[in-house]
């Protein structure tokens, strides 16, 4: 047996279903012949003995009615009323091998073997069974001992039939039938049946074993195929993961480069880009943890990460604003401020078109849809006094409301040509003052819950990197009005 076959058989014993079927079939293959040997064959032998007993009883009744008459008589009277020729004829007619007549004291008063006349049957079966009115029978196989200790060279049925006068034991008849031919024929039938049953059981077991072997072999092939498929899938997943990671890095780098390019006019805004992303993450995770907005955030796939990525494009519309206005250290005129306001519309239109290209290709929105909402609406205010559309309350997208607070906090904490950086405490006070007017009250609550973390982020980033700044020229415009 080669290694492969060992694996197949080993799998049979490792698989509960296959193992149970195998043992079940083996048990059936053993039990069927055993049942035949120890139940069916004895049953047939018992039927043979029962038929022999019935025949002996009929013979005894015939002898009683023919020779003893219907009146009570002692068995020894039988000798005076019958002729040997009559008994000879009865023996021939009924196929009797040997006939004995016992008296009430167990003595043999007649026997076809004259040498036995006068012997007394003192065996327990005679007095405990026959003398109490019951038939006693025994099949004696060739060269085996009879109930009386005699040996026959043929198969015989030894039957004792009591002669009763009511409840009084008067004697008994012992009849021997030669059942050699019947027994030989029955034994042949039973042996053929037994051999056939054994053969069928073995064939059935072999057939089932072959089927189980094939099932185990197919199972192993399927398992090997699944393993190979899983290995291929794992390889492909690793490759896709690596390519996806590369695409994400390229995407993030490209977005950051675009945002930095849009803000290239000012190198004093520090790590505005990185800080805005951190602030947005802190606010959204707090809102997801404990706020009425939690269900909305949780049902959105990668909502927090997508908004963090999209948030860095909130001011790319400034590329449409004249550089002299953006770098002006003095207060803006109303006309200049109106031009600044247009950066939200410009960014919203550009990002909307970019997202539409993605929708046409893939049938769904990308993070650019969030970026469009943020860029277009992050200067809207909760009380409707913002721009460009004067939206109020929850008409303003949640993403834009979150970025609005993060943008203002970073503007307050940063140095500008027209102002100094404010302290963390001052920034908290300003944001609380604008709760319900500029900012969504629930987002202010989330900010207060994460205030210490905001301060840590503001202090941890270097002020020497050149990146995006928020648009706070509206503060300068407010100062001139």
**Domain containing residue 15: CATH number:** 3.30.450.20
Average pLDDT of span 265-282: 76
Q: Which residues of 393-404 are buried (b: 16+ CB within 10 A; e: fewer)?
A: eeebbbbbbbbb
Task: Provide the CA 5 distance to its chain's centre, in angstroms.
Answer: 28
Q: Shortest CA distance to 405 belongs to which of 436, 371, 368, 370?
A: 436
Q: Do 414 and 269 share a domain, yes or no?
A: yes
For the chain, what percent of residues have pLDDT higher than 70?
82
Q: Do 371 and 443 share a domain, yes or no?
A: yes
Q: Which domain holds residue 430?
A: 247-479
Q: Do 162 and 281 share a domain, yes or no?
A: no
Asked, for residue 242, whether it belongs to a domain, the answer is: no
Asked, for residue 193, whether it belongs to a domain, the answer is: no
Q: Do 287 and 433 share a domain, yes or no?
A: yes
Residue that is last in its domain, among 161, 186, 211:
186
Residue that is last in its domain, among 160, 186, 212:
186
CA angle 305, 310, 311 (to 5 degrees): 100
pTM of the model: 0.51
pLDDT at 21: 77
Asked, for residue 199, whether it belongs to a domain, the answer is: no
Q: For 30-50, what is each residue's pLDDT tens digit?
A: 777 777 777 777 777 777 667
Asked, for residue 214, whether it belongs to a domain, the answer is: no
Residues in the chain: 481
Asked, for residue 234, whether it belongs to a domain, the answer is: no
HSE (CB half, 13 Å, CA atoms) of 271? Answer: 13
Residue that is last in its domain, among 170, 186, 202:
186
Q: Do 18 and 151 share a domain, yes or no?
A: yes
Integer-rounded Cα radius of gyration of the chain: 56
Give yes or no for a contact between 365 and 358, defined as CB atoms under 8 angstroms apart: yes
- Is the pLDDT reported for residue 246 higher than 70? no
**Residue 272 — very low, low, confident or very high, per pLDDT cuts 50/70/90?**
confident
Asked, for residue 197, whether it belongs to a domain, the answer is: no
The domain tally of the chain equals 2
Asked, for residue 238, whether it belongs to a domain, the answer is: no
- Is the pLDDT reported for residue 355 higher than 50? yes
Asked, for residue 129, whether it belongs to a domain, the answer is: yes
Question: Which CATH number characterizes residue 327's domain?
Answer: 1.10.3210.10
Q: Do 152 and 251 share a domain, yes or no?
A: no
């Amino acid at each position: 047996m080669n290694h492969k076959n060992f694996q197949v058989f080993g799998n049979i014993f490792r698989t509960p279903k296959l193992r149970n079927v195998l043992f079940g079939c083996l048990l059936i293959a053993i039990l069927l012949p055993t049942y035949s040997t120890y139940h069916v064959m004895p049953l047939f032998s018992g039927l043979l003995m029962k038929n022999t007993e019935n025949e002996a009883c009929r013979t005894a009744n015939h002898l009683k009615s023919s020779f003893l008459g219907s009146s009570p008589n002692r068995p020894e009277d039988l000798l005076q009323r019958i002729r040997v020729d009559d008994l000879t004829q009865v023996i021939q007619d009924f196929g009797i091998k040997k006939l004995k007549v016992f008296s009430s004291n167990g003595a043999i008063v007649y026997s076809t073997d004259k040498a036995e006349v006068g012997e007394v049957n003192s065996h327990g079966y005679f007095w405990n069974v026959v003398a109490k009115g019951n038939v006693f029978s025994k099949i004696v196989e060739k060269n085996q001992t009879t109930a009386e200790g005699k040996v026959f060279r043929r198969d015989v049925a030894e039957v004792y039939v009591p002669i009763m006068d009511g409840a009084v034991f008067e004697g008994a008849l012992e009849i021997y039938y030669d059942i050699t031919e019947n027994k030989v024929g029955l034994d042949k039938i039973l042996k053929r049946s037994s051999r056939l049953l054994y053969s069928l059981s073995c064939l059935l077991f072999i057939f089932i074993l072959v089927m189980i072997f094939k099932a185990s072999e197919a199972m192993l092939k399927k398992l090997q195929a699944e393993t190979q498929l899983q290995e291929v899938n794992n390889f492909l997943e690793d490759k896709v993961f690596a390519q996806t990671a590369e695409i994400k890095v390229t995407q993030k780098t490209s977005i950051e480069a675009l945002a930095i390019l849009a803000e290239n006019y000012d190198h004093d805004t520090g790590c505005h880009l990185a800080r805005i992303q951190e602030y947005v993450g802190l606010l959204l995770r707090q809102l997801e943890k404990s706020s009425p907005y939690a269900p909305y955030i949780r049902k959105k796939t990668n909502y927090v990460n997508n908004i963090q990525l999209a948030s860095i494009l909130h001011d790319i519309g400034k590329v449409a604003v004249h550089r002299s206005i953006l770098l002006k250290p003095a207060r803006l005129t109303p006309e200049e401020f109106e031009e600044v306001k247009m950066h939200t519309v410009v960014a919203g239109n550009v990002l909307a078109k970019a997202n539409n290209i993605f929708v046409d290709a893939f049938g769904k929105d990308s993070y650019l849809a969030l970026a469009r909402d943020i860029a277009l609406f992050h200067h809207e205010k909760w009380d409707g006094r913002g721009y460009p559309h004067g939206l109020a309350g929850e008409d303003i997208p949640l993403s834009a409301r979150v970025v609005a607070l993060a943008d203002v906090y970073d503007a307050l904490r940063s140095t500008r040509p027209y102002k100094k950086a404010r302290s963390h405490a001052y920034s908290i006070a300003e944001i609380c003052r604008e709760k319900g007017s500029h900012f969504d009250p629930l987002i202010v609550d989330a900010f207060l819950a994460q205030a210490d973390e905001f301060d840590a982020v503001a202090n941890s980033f270097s002020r020497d990197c050149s990146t995006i700044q928020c648009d706070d020229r509206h503060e300068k415009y407010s100062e001139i009005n």
